[in-house]
A and B are shown apart, each in its own frame.
Chain A
Amino acid sequence: MNRFVSLVLLWTLVVLSSTGPVTGAEEGEISFEYHRYEELRKALVSVWLQCPSITRIYTVGESFEGRELLVLEMSDNPGTHEAGEPEFKYIGNMHGNEAVGRELIVYLAQYLCNQYQQGNESIIDLIHTTRIHLMPSMNPDGFEKAASQSGELKDWFVGRSNAQGVDLNRNFPDLDRIVYGNEKEGGANNHLLNNMKKAVDENTKLAPETKAVIRWIMEIPFVLSANLHGGDVVANYPYDETRSGSTHEYSASPDDVIFKSLAKSYSQFNPVMSDPQRAPCRKNDDDTSFTDGITNGGAWYSVPGGMQDFNYLSSNCFEITLELSCDKFPAEDTLKTYWEENRNSLVNYIEQVHRGVKGFVRDLQGGAIFNASISVEGIDHDITTAKDGDYWRLLAAGNYKVSAYAPGYLTVIKKVAVPYSPAIRVDFELESLVERKEEEKEELMDWWKMMSETLNF
């Protein structure tokens, strides 16, 4: 009976709307509209209700005005990190008036759930092999302000910062300066925020949204991420802050090669982003650093204290910044088009997490070694293993020497040929120094024994 009423209701609604064509099955299931906070919350709850076996909603904290920073997680085992399964995140709307990313993430959640249930094999596979975290809005307070503006044209700045007036993408601890110093004088090339927990808790300059995200980054071993913005159309990769401090300067990270590949993997499926003939968003914009729809951050313009570089320099996570629309807060009836332009890119970019080398670092007894370092010869940036000893090292295709090191253990080096994808599995069994000493001692005893027998001691 329920079905009957639903049928009648839906039929009527469908007919009422029949003045226009609906193209494509999946487009008919997603409603392309802006979501205010309550609507956003309900939209995520609806996805969860529709796909409870593969989703979970959680919050990483509250905004300044008390709105939850909601995340919808999608995986075959939501709520848990499965050993060896890489973690991925999308974060949108950290500038509250840059609204397209926020909505695209909501539509993506709906899309993935729908496609999963409709038997889309590649989506099913993606969800089974990845843990995907979707945060439509890091700055819900800013969004409300931006959305409340009346009239067609939204101000370029209203709603950009959080409720305290803090630009969240300038609010992260500036680790670029530290790494640039270390490049010259020696020092760590990864995990540069010492005493991270303490540093965050005691730093009064950090906005609540920034703090919440930093804690989130510390807690979950993210591998790949993207941060969604608006105001231009390009995929931007590290480093954002220029080495010399000048306003424009190509500032390559040690992983410049893979970052370019990752950025391209997004832009290539977005027809607007990758269009070589695309005119700049505004007449006087300087797009000279854009090629193939991507740009190095520093080459475009210097951004200190940004979230993208913070990810790379404080954790194992590689993050790029996606600028998705010339207009920061375009009219609602354009959202469907933005979805169509970005859908394939959004999905394909998640799949990039399955590249390079991955595996486990264990001791000789098979126990996981947490916080072991994985080094790649020629790339001055190490990553570390997570609690199950699992690691994921994104690499472009090529031949590499990969080594695993942990204090008290002997380093092991392996040669690996890495294709474009999928990731190659490389496990390490590390012998501890103590064990080595024992071995050497035994060898010595054996030799002494042999010698004494021969020489008749």
Chain B
Amino acid sequence: EVKEAEPEQENDDFTLLKSLAEGQRSKETNETPVRESLEKEPYFPDESDSTKNRRLVEDYDSTKMENGKYQDDPESFRQVDGTPLTAEDIVQKIATKIYEEDDRGVFDRIVSKLLRLGLITDSQADSLEYEVAEALQDLITKNAKNNEIEDLGEDYPVTREDDDEDQAAIDDDVDRGEGDDTVDNTWDRESEGEGEEEERSEGERDEGNELSPEDGLQDLQYFPNFYRLLKSLDSEQDAQERETLITIMKTLIDFVKMMVKYGTITPEEGVSYLENLDAMIALQTKNKLGKTLGIPGIIPPTEDDDNTKAEAAKMQKEYENLKDSTKEEAPSTETRDHPGKSEIYLEAIRKNIEWLKKHNKDEGKDDYDLSKLRDFMDQQVDSYIDKGIIEKGEGETIKRIYGSL
């Protein structure tokens, strides 16, 4: 399906993510070619140590990406002159976005969601607001002078037309007469299970967003719902949404890869993040868009990675158990069930740790004793496994999560 290059994405809050993806994929083609003149990054909560942010940025050095550097790397976590992105840049980008959309609601929406989810504190929100307001004011002043919309990345060839052409060319090759062909080359397998190569199928594509073996992440089989969602967005007005979604998914996969690569999370955790994401997509799609995505087929892993195999086999088994007693009636329930339970558990554990930290701080106590907590949890988990309350695999996941804290 031939697609125009993305029109203004700026109405989407997650454009920020998208540009992150642009930066991430040093080698990939852009099916989602939003060559924004602006680099938009998601705002990271104000870590007390700003050098942390900086390090993050450096990690995304495209030259370090396993897939090699893509010849044309228009956007990355770097300024035009190659210096890494700083927190100030990020604030700048948000301010610019607000300016261009002329909608302060952008900021409010993002921040209120972050607050509600407990991911930033009130004071972090306040300081963000302050900084963005300042940056915005500067922008307004500057632009009043220039009397035109500012192009932050003016050294960039922001030729949307170019992008269109690239995209069109790519899309033509991708086209297989299905609605969802702009899916990244890693997802060119049909949901019905045509066994397409996960690699690129077109010449001009570089190595696809292929995940390294040690991650054990097989894209498509963990995103059947996402794939279905894309398929369901086959109308003209959905085109934009689809592009955005694709970019987001890619971004997330890359993030997870990065995290795994740098040892921040284990491959299994990475797998389960993404598994749970797919499940959430099914759920949210059903809840919010009123669509049901159908029962995903479980595609057995082909990787040699034992962990993912075990993970997927477990899912398979659970699914079988469910399948016996269920009908079409509750597909989204099933979807929710088999993938990503470790993500749910991870989230629950995270909340507990956060509460402990806050609670001890409030009461003026010393930091909670992590090793004692870990021992206690290990003990409880074992006891629960004995009683049939937790499955062995789940128990191991929980212990592992605590072990990695």
Q: Measuring CB to CB, which residues of chain A are less than 8 angstroms from any residue of chain B?
A: 1-20, 22, 25, 28, 31, 33-34, 36, 38-39, 41-42, 45-52, 57-59, 68, 70, 117, 144-145, 147-151, 333
Q: Tell me which residues across on chain A come within 8 A of B14, comparing CB atoms.
A: 11-12, 15
Q: Measuring CB to CB, which residues of chain B are less than 8 angstroms from any residue of chain A?
A: 12-14, 17, 42, 44-45, 56, 109-110, 113-114, 116-117, 119, 245, 248, 251-252, 255-256, 259, 262, 264-265, 273, 277, 280-281, 283-284, 287-289, 318, 321-322, 325-330, 332-333, 336-337, 341, 344-345, 347-352, 355, 373, 376-377, 380, 384, 387-390, 394, 398
* Given A6-B119, A13-B280, A36-B322, residue A68 in contact with residue B389 (CB < 8 A): yes
Q: Give Cα distance in the complex from A14 to B13, angstroms.
A: 10
Partner of A17, one of B255, B287, B376: B287
Partner of A52, one of B44, B326, B380, B389: B380
Q: Tell me which residues across on chain A come within 8 A of B13, comparing CB atoms.
A: 15, 18
List, sorted by A's number, 5 A–B pairs whose CB atoms are closer than 8 Å.
Answer: A5-B255, A16-B288, A17-B287, A38-B318, A68-B388
Chain B minimum-CB-distance residue to A43: B344
* Given A17-B287, A25-B116, residue A45 in contact with residue B390 (CB < 8 A): yes
Q: Give Cα distance in the complex from A36 to B325, angstroms.
A: 10
**B336 contacts A39, CB within 8 Å?**
yes
Q: Tell me which residues across on chain B come within 8 A of A20, comparing CB atoms.
A: 287-288
Secondary structure at the B interface, as helix, strand, loop or mixed, is helix
Q: Give Cα distance in the complex from A4 to B56, angstroms.
A: 10
**B389 contacts A38, CB within 8 Å?**
no
Q: Give Cα distance in the complex from A150 to B117, angstroms.
A: 36
Closest-CB distance, A280 to chain B (whole angstroms)? 29
Closest-CB distance, B38 to chain A (whole angstroms)? 18
Closest-CB distance, B95 to chain A (whole angstroms)? 18
> Given A11-B114, A17-B284, 14 other A-B contacts at CB below 8 A?
A1-B265, A3-B119, A11-B14, A11-B17, A13-B277, A15-B113, A18-B109, A33-B332, A36-B322, A49-B345, A49-B398, A52-B373, A145-B325, A150-B329
Q: Tell me which residues across on chain B come within 8 A of A57, comparing CB atoms.
A: 384, 389
Closest-CB distance, A256 to chain B (whole angstroms)? 40
Across the A-B interface, the 5 shortest Cβ-Cβ residue pairs = A1-B264, A49-B348, A50-B348, A46-B348, A117-B355
**A34 contacts B252, CB within 8 Å?**
no
**A38 contacts B322, CB within 8 Å?**
yes
**B114 contacts A5, CB within 8 Å?**
no
Partner of A147, one of B273, B326, B387: B326
**A45 contacts B389, CB within 8 Å?**
yes
**A70 contacts B389, CB within 8 Å?**
yes
* Given A8-B255, A42-B344, residue A19 in contact with residue B288 (CB < 8 A): yes
**A39 contacts B345, CB within 8 Å?**
no
* Given A4-B56, A11-B113, A17-B284, residue A45 in contact with residue B394 (CB < 8 A): yes
**B265 contacts A2, CB within 8 Å?**
yes
**B259 contacts A117, CB within 8 Å?**
no
**A49 contacts B349, CB within 8 Å?**
yes
**A5 contacts B287, CB within 8 Å?**
no
**A117 contacts B351, CB within 8 Å?**
yes
**A10 contacts B119, CB within 8 Å?**
yes
**B337 contacts A38, CB within 8 Å?**
yes
Q: Give Cα distance in the complex from A446 to B341, angstroms.
A: 78
**A34 contacts B330, CB within 8 Å?**
yes
**B117 contacts A14, CB within 8 Å?**
yes
Q: Tell me which residues across on chain B come within 8 A of A8, comparing CB atoms.
A: 17, 42, 251-252, 255
Q: Give Cα distance in the complex from A338 to B292, angstroms.
A: 23
**A5 contacts B259, CB within 8 Å?**
yes
Q: Give Cα distance in the complex from A456 to B320, angstroms.
A: 100
**B330 contacts A1, CB within 8 Å?**
no
Q: Give Cα distance in the complex from A145 to B329, angstroms.
A: 12
**A17 contacts B348, CB within 8 Å?**
no
Q: Tell me which residues across on chain B come within 8 A of A70, comparing CB atoms.
A: 389
Q: Tell me which residues across on chain A come within 8 A of B256, comparing CB atoms.
A: 5
Chain A minimum-CB-distance residue to B395: A45
Q: Give Cα distance in the complex from A49 to B346, angstroms.
A: 9
Q: Tell me which residues across on chain A come within 8 A of B347, comparing CB atoms.
A: 6, 46
Q: Tell me which residues across on chain A come within 8 A of B280, comparing CB atoms.
A: 13, 16
Q: Give Cα distance in the complex from A202 to B239, angstroms.
A: 68
Closest-CB distance, B326 to chain A (whole angstroms)? 6
Q: Give Cα distance in the complex from A14 to B277, angstroms.
A: 11
**B288 contacts A7, CB within 8 Å?**
no
**B326 contacts A45, CB within 8 Å?**
no
**A9 contacts B42, CB within 8 Å?**
no
Q: Tell me which residues across on chain B come within 8 A of A33, comparing CB atoms.
A: 283, 332-333, 336
Q: Tell me which residues across on chain B come within 8 A of A49, comparing CB atoms.
A: 345, 348-349, 352, 398
Q: Give Cα distance in the complex from A19 to B287, angstroms.
A: 10
**B252 contacts A144, CB within 8 Å?**
no
Q: Tell me which residues across on chain A come within 8 A of B336, comparing CB atoms.
A: 33, 39
Q: Tell me which residues across on chain B come within 8 A of A42, comparing CB atoms.
A: 337, 341, 344-345, 394
Chain A minimum-CB-distance residue to B115: A25
Chain A minimum-CB-distance residue to B276: A9
